Structure 1
Amino acid sequence: MAERETWESRLGFILAAVGSAVGLGNIWGFPFQAGQNGGAAFLVVYLAVVFLIGFPAILMEFVVGRRSRRNPIDAFRELGHGAWAVAGIVGTFTAFWILSFYSVIGGWVLRYLGGSVTGAYFGDATGYFNAVATGPEAVALHAVFMLLVIGIVAFGVEDGIERSAKVMVPSIVVLLLGLGVWASTLANAGAGYEYYLSPDVDVIVNNIASILPSAVGQAFFTLSLGMGAMIAYSSYLGRDDSLPRDGGIIVIFNTLVGLLAGFVVFPILFNLGIEPGSGGSGTAFKTLGGAFGQIPSGELVGVVFFFVLLLAALSSAISLLEVVTSFAVENTSYSRPTVAVGVGALVFLLGVPSALYSDYLMWFNLLAYDLFLPAAVLLLALFIGWVYPSGAVDELTQGSGVSATFNTVWLWFVRIVIPAGILLTLVLGVQELLVVGGVLESAVFLG
């Protein structure tokens, strides 16, 4: 087995973890989810989920990763509970599954970054998207995106993942801030802010059955929970780092980036009278792409926006590939570059159907959001809360100096609040899958 790598610095770990969390789910997915679910109504539920479920859950993954110093599957065996490796298997499979269609969307970003330079999509954004989103070109760009991800992961934890995160994450924040300032100057920015920041309690109450699964799935997706990424990343940590402090920084930073994306997107949409949440899986491309063609300096804004989107996509995709790569590196005699290429090739093949048919991409996305992510987090919560509580609390205390009260509250959130929230989400999510699945089956198989 190859010698295990570590982070060069605590800052490197935080930026890498933030990079994993700050991805397409924040900039592409968050405004779309908010637009589909009542704007500020979704925001309120999402923020509650992030801090009541997301923060305790990220600490669960940190505890398992750092205490075991192993990949997400072998971690449970190292902790003396091999039967619970099923939790790691589900998470690792979820990372593999998500990356397959995530990379297809990354290919769209590459295409639109080039199209922004020439203004190719300005005249007919919807037609342009429909022409490039599926088919041979989408497959080719899916391959290019995966090659970029493979190249970074192949260089290793310190030389590849950490160094890239130190460049990409600050760049994402600076460029998003610039876009946010620019968006605030648009004519109807105020209407966009009102939709985004003024919640209607009736909307929340009447639509909680649809908002809650979306909010939980969005929180898990944007925090990289349930896919083994945070277990893998924290396994390279030293014992003197404070897990609660680092987890809090990552959760807050990730949430602020998602909120900032909304401050960019909603003023643009309301400035042009475009309905939030329209556009389906291609909302950032069809809706915003069309908007860039109608606003001053649209080509420049489009280049900056899609460059930010590319950096975000890469930073998250790197962590997803690392989950599977870390397992293979630690359980085979193959080198990291060889493993990264082999795993990346398999991810590419799984993603080909999503690149050829948009309905498959939507189906892959729904399964990840509504089933795989919640199931993986639920298994981990049951393990930490009821099988390994003393070891988990001991690890959480290392390097943190947190109070006994904090540990107790955290443990009971893991035991009760997280499972209850996830079980409710799973029930609602499965109902959505049955409804949407029937529609997709008709579209895909019955023509």
Structure 2
Amino acid sequence: MTSTSARDSFHSRIGFVLAAAGAAIGLGNIWAFPTQAANNGGGAFLLVYLIVTFLLALPALYAEIYIGNQAQTNPVSALTQSCGQRFKKLGHSAGIIGIIGAMMMLSFYTIVAGWMLSHALASLTELLGLNELAQWLSTSSTLRNVIFTPIFIVLGAAIVHQGVHSGIERWSARLMPLLLLMLLGLIIYILQQEGAMTGVTLYLVPDFSQVMNPKLIISAMGQAFFSLAIGVGAMMAYGSYMPKGQSVGKLVISITLLDTFIAFIAGLLIIPALFVAQHNGQEVFVDGHLIGEGQLIFTILPTLFNSMGDIGLLVSFGFFALLSIAALTSTISSTEVPVAYLIEDKSMSRKRATWLISGVVFIASMLLVAFFEQLFGLIIQLLTTILQPLMSLFYFIVVGWLWRRGNQLTDIALLKKHLSLKLLGFYLRFISPVLLGIVFINVAF
């Protein structure tokens, strides 16, 4: 295995926060979150999402980054080491499951990312008068998926193979501020349109009668874990690229607040936009649920943008370019998980590991394209509502119970005078696993 001193790393705290936030901020925030919120009572979903994020997802993110930061190695080796001699096989297996989860995420993520890119190009081609090409780019088809999915796989690989500092950190520092500026600009524009305030009210005023709905709670939990990219090893890998001794708690809070803020304002963009479309005569909801659900931003919003004339095409390009950037920052983090494993545990070069993983992802995504109806929704559900929460539960057990036969966070030598960390250790050891267990039991029965 590569020595710690020879490992690539992030060169600054802000570089780490932007890269980790980029891993978290992606289609989960801007594509999935508003859809879930609109389908699950708007303000009620937002309230439960915020509660679940800070009670469960934030501690899980802390546990994942902490394990990586302490081990200073890839997620498979980190979990193997942290589980100790007695449970090292369990840790190794969990690390491999995390890699499988990252590959699952990449297999569907790159397909959806390709949709974003093709819709952005559709707006540009329509502005240029290439209407037939624009129509093809904006219409779902197997051929379009076969062309655009590999484009996104190659874009992600091109950044990852440059390394942690030169690739991931540098590009995250460029893309994340651009994403935020574009998102805020689009919100300002949409909120000035007629009908937008109805959407704002639905989004911000919760219906408390829905708050204890088990379906809403599990949807919010799955969304929180998916949004923060927890449970697939990406944050563990990124944590390992920060020098030991950094204030992990402050970094985790920064990432969570930035990610939650982006999810919140994405809802503030898309839910009002739906009501603007409804005000303009489009049918948006049937029996209280969105038409097309996950496809809504490709069906309802382009029609809304088209109704605005040429300025609408520019807004459409900005919106889908924004989603493409969000997808790219998340793609590179998931790709880094198996790549780091192959570099450090299998002694591969970064270039070879990156392109090998990208080839496997291409095959997996093409299988999803071929059997879209049967597999696509199933893979997303398995990942977000089962694998990611269960891996998070395992991280709690590792940090709280298995690490060096005790709770690493309550090690007296490490935590003298740090009462807040002792309380965090207690929370991760007892409270977090119980809360996560209660959610699962609620759903099962």
TM-score by length of 1: 0.89
Counterpart for residue 443 of structure 1: none
Q: Does 1:416 align with 2:430?
A: yes
Q: Determine helix, strand or coil for the equivalent of 2:19.
A: helix
Matched, 1:15 2:29: no
- Alignment partner for residue 66 of structure 2, among 63, 69, 76? 63
Q: Which residue of 2 aligns with 1:225?
A: 230
Q: Does 1:370 align with 2:385?
A: yes
Q: Distance in 2 between matches of 1:21 and 1:308?
A: 15
- In 2, distance between residues paired with 1:94 and 1:16? 20
> Which runs of 5 or more structure 2 residues have no equivalent in the other structure?
279-283
Q: Is the 8 A contact 1:21 1:316 kept in 2?
A: yes
- Which residue of the partner structure matches residue 255 of structure 2? 250
The alignment status of 1:323 with 2:326, answered yes or no, reads no
Does the Cα contact within 8 Å between 2:119 and 2:138 map onto a contact in 1?
no
> What is the count of residue pairs matched by the alignment?
423
- Give 1:362-441 correspondences, 5 Å limit: 362-388=377-403, 389-393=406-410, 403-404=418-419, 406-427=420-441
CA deviations 1:146-180 (Å, max 9, x no partner) are: 00011100000001100110001111111101111
Match of 1:193 in 2: 200
* TM superposition score normalised by structure 2: 0.89
Partner Cα separation in structure 1 for residue 411 and residue 337 of structure 2: 25
1:354 aligns with 2:368: yes
- Structure-1 separation of matches of 2:103 and 2:300: 29
Matching residue of 1:293: 306
Aligned equivalents of 2:130, 2:270: Cα separation in 1: 17
More displaced 10-residue stretch of structure 1: 79-88 or 60-69:
79-88
Structure 1 residues 357, 291: CA separation in 2 closer, same or farther (over 3 Å shift)?
Answer: farther
1:262 to 256, 264, 267: 267
1:14 positional shift: 0.7
List runs of 5+ in structure 1 lacking aligned partners.
Answer: 432-447
- What letter matches 1:364 in structure 2? I
Q: Equivalent of 2:47, from 22, 41, 44?
A: 44
Gap change, CA 1:385 and 1:114, over 3 Å in 2: same
Cα distance in 2 between the residues matched to 1:395 and 1:151 = 44
Relative distance call for 1:394 and 1:291 in structure 2 (3 A) is farther
Q: Any idea what the Cα deviations from partners look like across 1:301-328, whole Å, max 9, x if unmatched?
A: 1000011100000000100000110000
Match for residue 156 of structure 2?
149
1:434 paired residue number: none
- The answer to whether residue 102 in structure 2 is matched with residue 102 in structure 1 is no
- Counterparts of 2:363 and 2:376, CA distance in 1: 13
Cα pair 2:200 2:268 within 8 Å, conserved? yes
CA drift at 1:123: 10
The aligned amino acid for 1:323 is V
Asked if the contact 2:111–2:148 (Cα under 8 Å) also holds between the matched residues in 1, the reply is yes
Residue 215 in 1 paired to residue 220 in 2?
yes
What residue is the counterpart of 2:93 in the other structure? 86
CA gap of 1:430–1:171, structure 2 versus 1, over 3 A, is farther
> Per-residue deviation at 1:290?
2.1
- Could you say what secondary structure the match of 1:98 adopts? helix
**Equivalent AA in structure 2 for residue 36 of structure 1:** N
> Contact conserved, 1:91 with 1:376, CA < 8 A, in 2?
yes
Q: RMSD value over aligned CA atoms?
A: 2.5
From 262, 284, 297, the equivalent of 2:297 is 284
- Give the equivalent residue in structure 2 for 1:176: 183
Task: Tell me if the contact between 1:243 and 1:396 (Cα under 8 Å) persists in the aligned partners.
Answer: no
Q: Which amino acid in 2 is paired with 1:155?
A: Q
What do residues 326-373 of structure 1 show as CA deviations (whole Å, max 9, x unaligned)? 000002232101100001110111111222343221111111112111
Query: 1:287 and 1:229, CA in 2 relative to 1: closer, same or farther beyond 3 A?
Result: same
Report how far residue 96 of structure 1 moved: 1.0
Q: Deviations over 1:203-243 (max 9, x none)?
A: 223xx211111111111111110010110000011124211
2:14 maps to amino acid: L
* Closer, same or farther: CA 356–391 of 1 in aligned 2, 3 Å: same
CA distances 1:269-313 after superposition (whole Å, capped 9, x unpaired): 111213363323222211222221223521011000011100000
Per-residue CA deviation, residues 85-109 of structure 1 (Å, 9 max, x unaligned), is: 2332222211111111110101111
Contact in 1 for aligned 2:121/2:137 (Cα 8 Å): no
Query: Which residue number in structure 2 is paired with residue 437 of structure 1?
Result: none
Alpha-carbon distance, 1:410 to partner? 1.8
CA contact (8 A) 1:30 1:218 kept: yes
Counterpart of 1:33 (choices 25, 36, 45) is 36
What is the Cα deviation at residue 131 of structure 1? 4.0
